[in-house]
Amino acid sequence: MQAENNRTYGAANIQVLEGLEAIRKRPGMYIGSTGITGLHHLVWEIVDNAVDEALAGECTEISVTVEKDNSITVVDNGRGIPVGIHPQKGIPAIELVFMTLHAGGKFGGENSGYTVSGGLHGVGASVVNALSDALEVQVYQDGKIYEQRYAKGVKLCDLTVIGDTDKRGTYVHFKPDGTIFETTEYDFKTLSERLRETAFLTKGLKITLTDLRGKEPKTVEYCYDGGIKEFVAFINEGKDPVGDKIFYCEESSNGVLVEVAFQYTDEYSETLLSFVNNINTIDGGTHVAGFRSALTRGINDYVKKNELLKNGKLTGEDVREGLTAVLSVKIREPQFEGQTKGKLGSTEARTAVDTVVYKHLEYFLEENPQVAKAIVDKAILAQKARESAKKARDFVRRKSVLESSRMPGKLADCTEKDPALCEIFLVEGDSAGGSAKSARTYKTQAVLPLKGKILNVEKSRLDKVLSNDEIAAMIAAFGAGIGDDFDISKLRYHKIIIMTDADVDGKHIRTLLLTLFYRFMPEVITGGYLYIAQPPLYKVTKGKQDYYAYSDAGLKELLDKIGRDGIKPIQRYKGLGEMDADQLWETTMDPEKRVLLQVTIEDAVKANKICSRLMGDRVDPRKDFILDYAKRAKLDI
């Protein structure tokens, strides 16, 4: 019998959101989230508009200020947003920019105000306006100061001349709407790192960041005349370079401006950062393909010409071992794949980058024979390691096939076959593994106990990584391969959960696992599949009620809340194996109650530097890090 439904659905049910209402209704569609990332995105939108002026050769300085109330002021010395009346709309152009989606000076191709631009969709200024309690814009143009003010996307006054000036540029001051964002507290470090990256990518542009929230103003200034060449040197701080020179070239080809800098280090991993019109293309694209093709071909041609390799050729994997490279292209109207601008699809970029890099690489290798020999020697060693790794990888594959009926090692697999519904817990030791296996939901939860501390992969080539039994077991269980062979579509679990003890050893094992994923399976992290479980450190029993605390600070807060009278002796868990199955399920594994931390990469440069610094061969950088941060460390023991 069909239930009675008196609700009707007709034309009157169709809503039309006027002006900027759509942004306030669904902010995540425009800035990704209403959390801390989305909050900072507002700053990037305004700063990127100023950077576009710099890319056009019209701006030399940008200042960003975090005011005492966490509002933001961005000032540039560019041409200033146009204030004239728009011929079609009949209102000042600046009002269109801040009040209308998809309105800007970057759509007109040859007739636009910009040769190249990062902000292509014309949503930046209007989104910031819509999501701000208050926004004030001033334009310094033609000797006049023009001003207009808004609130929550609504215009408060017409564009007005408020004075005279000999300056030029744009001033934007906005205060994020606290009813939209989960927090309105800006993080100085996040701002400074992004602005430093922007300065590296825009040679000669001076960017100043000032924070007025403390007792004393805090200011940093970034300006790099060496551009991305200095960027490579910055990334490689604390590493041992191969050769004493950084490769650098800049040249236009077929309307594409190509700028590349790279240097090799004695490490085994590759760090390649690619940008299109200052947009970080985290998923690469045609420009990256062109660079890799030119690099491989150029080094092989040098090897062949100088008879440095008796048999075979070097592969792309061989010549990229230990490479740190920054690739930046400027292109009119780039074509991106998808909505996030993460991957470039413009075919002309591949040809341009390939042509420019190959030509300049040939010169570089001939003019720097000692550096060239060091690069080639490293690539030849990588070739030998790759051949050893291939044998180890084939062994892992054969072992996986032979053991497919029972899966690798001590894996207790789940019965569900849909990866989207499956999760696997990586736990330390058989004791914790036993508790987890008893506690789990058999249908969707798998458990893989790991014996001891896995290999530190930061100090190892792939062949050594593959020979480690615990890592081989994980590779087989995940089913997606490793390194260049990794295929995310074959991943058997869409939640990989690191569940180690809440002590120092557990945190060390967690760090080793994070390094493995970051260096050899980064797609697990970027795809949002890696998590960290939060097991309790203490159990507190008062009467018949059990409580759990996850740190010393949490224990103190709990005791202050429930009172200390009538409490049984507090139990401190030395490991997950000390919990019975019910406790482990209730505190750490139950999807309805547990707390999981999702692992993300917010800053690729920062992540790479920290990984190298803490997990690499050099002791001094690690010692310096400990001395720098020891006083701020939060101890759980």
Task: Output the six-digit token pair for 131.
Answer: 């999501």
Separation of alpha carbons 631 and 613, rounded Å: 19
Q: Which residue from 130, 154, 104, 135 is spatially nearest to 30, judged by alpha carbons? A: 130
Do residues 474 and 448 make contact, with C-beta atoms less than 8 angstroms apart?
Answer: yes
Catalytic residue among 503, 523, 552, 578: 503
Catalytic residue among 230, 428, 458, 586: 428
Residue 497, SS3? strand
Do residues 636 and 554 make contact, with C-beta atoms less than 8 angstroms apart?
Answer: no
**Running DSSP on this structure, what letter comes out for residue 331?**
-
Can 578 be counted among the known catalytic residues? no
Q: Which residue has the tokens 């058997």?
A: 492
Separation of alpha carbons 516 and 456, rounded Å: 8
Can 430 be counted among the known catalytic residues? no
Residues 6+ apart with CB under 8 A from 100: 126
Tally of helices (H runs) and strands (E runs) in the chain: 20, 24
Q: Which residue from 269, 199, 188, 185 is spatially nearest to 230, judged by alpha carbons? A: 199
Separation of alpha carbons 190 and 198, rounded Å: 13
Q: Which residue from 59, 47, 41, 48 is spatially nearest to 140, judged by alpha carbons? A: 59
β-pair partners for 146: 139, 161
β-pair partners for 393: none
Can 58 be counted among the known catalytic residues? no
Rounded to the nearest 10 degrees, what angle do helices 347-367 and 369-402 cross at?
Answer: 130
Do residues 428 and 509 make contact, with C-beta atoms less than 8 angstroms apart?
Answer: yes
Residue 213, SS3? coil
Exposure pattern of 35-61 as b/e (b: 16+ CB <10 Å)? ebebbbbbbbbbbbbbbbbbbbebbeb
Give 202: exposed, middle or buried? Use CB within 10 Å, 0-12, 13-18, 19+: buried
Q: Which residue has the tokens 């470090």?
A: 189
Can 503 be counted among the known catalytic residues? yes
Amino acid at 560: D
Q: Taking the chain, what is the end-to-end CA distance rounded to the nearest angstrom?
A: 62
Catalytic residue among 21, 505, 617, 636: 505
- The set of catalytic residues is 428, 501, 503, 505
